[in-house]
Amino acid sequence: MTTTLAGPATSRPAEDDPSRPARPFLTGLDLLAGGALLLVALVAWASLALAHVGAHSLLAVLGLSLGVLTIIVVVGARVGRPRVRLDAAGLLVALGCAGVAVALTFPGFEYGVADKDPGGYVSHAIAISQTGDYSFVDPVLETAAADPTFPVQLTSPGARFAGVWVRDASTGLIVPQFYHLWPALLATAHDAGGQSALLTTVPLMGVLSVLVLCAVLRRAGTAMAGPAAGLVAAGAGGLLLATNMLQVWQARFPSTEVLAQALYVGVLLGIVVALQTGWRPAAGIAGLLVGVGWLNRADGLLLVLLSVGVGAALIATRRWDSRATWFAGGLLLVTPHALVQAYDLAHNYSIANKIPEIEVLGAVVAACLVAAVVLRVVLGRPLAWAQRGLQGRRAQVVVGGLVVLGAVGLLALGFLRARLFGADLFDYNGREIRSYDEQIMQRLTWFIGLPTFALMVLGLAVVAVRRWSAPVWTVVLPTLLLFPVYGYTASNSTRMLWWTRRYVPTVLPGVVVLVALALAYFAVKRYRGKLLMAVPAALALVGITAFYLSQSLPLRAHDEWKGSFEITQRLSDLSGDQDGVYLWEFDQGCCAGVTRLFATPLWLQHGQLSALLPSNASMAVDGKARATVISRYQERFAGQPLFVVADKGELPEGIDPSTVEPVDSFQATLPMWEESDLERPDEAREIPVDVAVWRVR
């Protein structure tokens, strides 16, 4: 079983024979990609920890993260320090792929509205930057807690606005939706360089992800078929990931997916380095990254459970060693914080995402460990016999063939799902529509391509039916386990680019890894001394890259919601140097109404309090409801400028024109990539925005 990258073994360089053991080493690419990702993970974790205790600031974050990094570096240098080798070829290939990613993704979208999750992250990030805390007290709810007659219009049960969730109505405590790692990291970027630094952080994570994937494939490809294959795999994988439209979109879209992807690929790199070099700190860093990934997204729990399952298997088969101990230690270091966030600070969001309660999670982990111990004691000999059997060539071919057949069967089931099982219906905002769960594979092919899926199967065959390599299986096995989970259901809106984000953190890099390994194997495979498949492999790479670029290049000239920050700033400027109160229309439908776009950013980004006017339904019951609200807010916030903001330039019904004066009115158009439930979005459209503002006399 191959476990090393390369190194001297005889007078002939060991890198010419990937099966020959060698003295392990770290490469310049390992240190660049892995070190940068570790630093980002520590800064993100420090940002979140400090925000959770209300002490977030740039100096505190830098001090805490650099302190932890120093400890890791010192410990790592003292524990079995491996050699360091530049690997100039690998560095150049990875930097070239990173350059492609930079060209396609910088700068990030100027996403300053709250129509979807990314705007919520950006607004929350700026609020953390300004207050130092992940939560805050809402004066409106605080007033209503003291005076139940004070009017409060919620946008939905438990939320003042979309994503602005009420944690405790009795105190007015607000905790924005989602887990808080990503906005905390963006808050640190905002502290460091304002809005531009915040937006630049998004594509920077995409570039980092490409670098780390190149490092993973450099090692995995070398373990599979030698250094030349490693170089080809790194270049092919990095290029394919950098140019794919889903990657390009998410690397400009300020949502959590691109950071989740970088952390996931970093976990693979840490494990592969630990396997090939025996360097235990690499395994510890991998475990830490799994924990940080859980802090980032609720479905990060899947990687935690996968880690528990692998650990249980190692215990049962007596393969647990010091590297596994270090991995567990790294994961356990972050786990207490992750549990506090998941089951306390963001518990409502965990419930909304169907995360099992802590008792269930504890029972699952305990059951895995107990089962592992029982199997180790009761079935020790049969398991040892099975392990010895799997080292044989024939057994590997048989089992590998079964794995390939199983994967092909699942892919076929995915493609034929609609024909086999009929329409899968879904409750979408009160409407029963086709959920498209049964069309997941077809929809993914619009962005990934059928030839790519074919090469993915070839890549799996290359890995599974050739002599097995632990590092190669490490980068492939998670895809085999996670793809079916995500391929079973979309679990979110059917809007195309919004829907596909679910597949970016793990599925997309998993597909790219398998394709890159296939291309690398055929590019270097000699038949009677000749590279007969090198040209077809190169043509396949060129063809897939061209297909990806045909979708990605049009995004280069697009900037989602460009101009939105300026509109929010213009509204904020109306209050001068005072803290204003802005009353917004409730009934504007979905999704480009002025209230939906700007009420939350004005509040969280600029500190101007936003509140909703009574709905049309309330007005039907009490025609004076809006006039009453204005009167009560004017009384409660006496001395602060009070504004009414409306759409279409029309004063909301029920407000006496003599009690207000117009102070601003303007129209604008903001770019937004088209949304579709039925076909791949391929062009931008202009969203008209018509804003009118009155100041209450």
CA distance 521 to 537: 9
Cβ-proximal residues to 471 (8 Å cutoff; 6+ apart), any chain: 2, 3, 219, 220, 223, 272, 275, 276
Residue 652 has pLDDT above 80, yes or no: yes
pLDDT one-digit tens code per residue, 414-429: 998 888 887 777 776 6
Instruction: Determine if the pTM surpasses 0.75.
Output: yes
Per residue in 257-294, pLDDT (tens digit) is 999 999 999 999 999 999 999 999 999 999 999 999 99
Q: Indicate whether 6 pLDDT > 70.
A: no
The pLDDT-based confidence of 651 (bands split at 50, 70, 90) is: very high
3-class SS at 37? Answer: helix
Q: Tell me the C-alpha distance between 681 and 497, whole Å.
A: 7
Structure confidence at residue 677 (pLDDT): 77
If you count them, how many residues does the chain have?
697
14 pLDDT above the threshold of 80: no
CA distance 288 to 39: 12
Please report, rounded to a whole number, the percentage of residues in the chain having pLDDT higher than 90: 77
CB within 8 Å of 571: residues ≥ 6 apart: 582, 598, 602, 608, 645, 664, 691, 693
Is it the case that residue 2 has pLDDT exceeding 90?
no
Q: What is the pLDDT of residue 526?
A: 86
Each residue of 235-247: pLDDT tens digit?
Answer: 999 999 999 999 9
If one compares 527 and 659, the residue with the highest pLDDT of the two is 659
For position 290, what pLDDT does the model report?
98
Residue 282 in contact with residue 270, Cβ under 8 Å?
yes
Q: What is the rounded CA–CA span in Å between residue 471 and residue 223? A: 7
Q: Tokens at residue 218, please? A: 């450099």
What pLDDT is recorded for position 493? 73
Query: 90-130 pLDDT, tens per residue?
Result: 999 999 999 999 999 999 999 999 988 999 999 999 999 99
Q: Which residue has the higher pLDDT, 426 or 202?
A: 202
Distance of CA 539 to the CA centre of its chain: 31
Question: 463 is written with which tokens?
Answer: 């890995």
Q: What tokens were used for 648?
A: 């279409």
**Which residues are within 8 A (CB) of 362 and not within 5 positions of it... i.e. 6 or more apart?**
none
The pLDDT assigned to 10 comes to 33
pLDDT digits (tens, 9 = 90+) for 145-199: 999 999 999 999 999 999 999 999 999 999 999 999 999 999 999 999 999 999 9
Residue 489, pLDDT above cutoff 90: no
Is 186 within 8 Å of 120 (Cβ atoms)?
no
Closest CA to 634 of 151, 159, 148: 151
What are the tens digits of pLDDT across the range 658-693? 999 999 999 999 999 988 877 888 889 999 999 999
Q: What does the alpha-carbon distance between residue 182 and residue 74 come to, in Å, rounded to a whole number?
A: 28
230-233: long-range contacts, CB 8 A cutoff, minimum separation 24: 230/5, 230/90, 230/520, 231/89, 231/90, 231/93, 232/516, 232/519, 232/520, 232/523, 232/524, 232/537, 233/516, 233/517, 233/519, 233/520
**Closest alpha carbon to 247 in 100, 113, 35, 125:** 100
Integer angstrom CA distances of residue 248 from 254, 501, 550: 12, 11, 12
Contact 561, 110 (CB under 8 A): yes
* pLDDT at 7 > cutoff 70: no
Higher pLDDT, 402 or 429: 402
In the chain, the N- to C-terminal Cα span, in Å, equals 80
Q: So what's the pLDDT on residue 23?
A: 57
Q: State the pLDDT at residue 25.
A: 85
For residue 527, give the DSSP letter.
B
Token pair for 663: 């102070």
Query: Comparing C-alpha atoms, which of 499, 512, 352, 505 is closest to residue 437?
Result: 499
pLDDT tens by residue, 326-358 = 999 999 999 999 999 999 999 999 998 889 999
> What is the arithmetic mean of pLDDT over 634-654?
92
pLDDT at 527: 84
CA dihedral sign of residues 260, 261, 267, 269: negative
Q: Supply the angle between the helices 534-556 and 507-524 in degrees, to the nearest 10.
A: 150
The span from the CA of 25 to the CA of 437, in Å, is: 45
pLDDT tens for residues 450-469?
999 999 999 999 999 988 99
pLDDT band at 64 (very low <50, low <70, confident <90, very high): very high
DSSP β-bridge partners for residue 664? 693
Max CA pair span of the chain: 94
pLDDT per position as a tens digit, 428-439: 667 777 777 888
CB atoms within 10 A of CB 427: 9
Mean residue pLDDT of the chain comes to 91
The closest alpha carbon to 481, from 406, 391, 373, belongs to 406
| 252 pLDDT tier (thresholds 50, 70, 90) | very high
Q: How far apart are CA 158 and CA 665, in angstroms?
A: 32
User: What was the pLDDT predicted at 590?
Assistant: 66
Collapse the DSSP code of 114 into the 3-class scheme (helix H, G, I; strand E, B; otherwise coil) and give the result: coil
Q: What are 539-550's pLDDT values in tens digits?
A: 999 999 999 999
Q: What would the pLDDT profile of 554-593 be if each residue is shown by its tens digit?
A: 999 999 999 999 999 999 999 999 999 999 999 876 667 8
Q: Is the pLDDT of residue 213 over 70?
A: yes
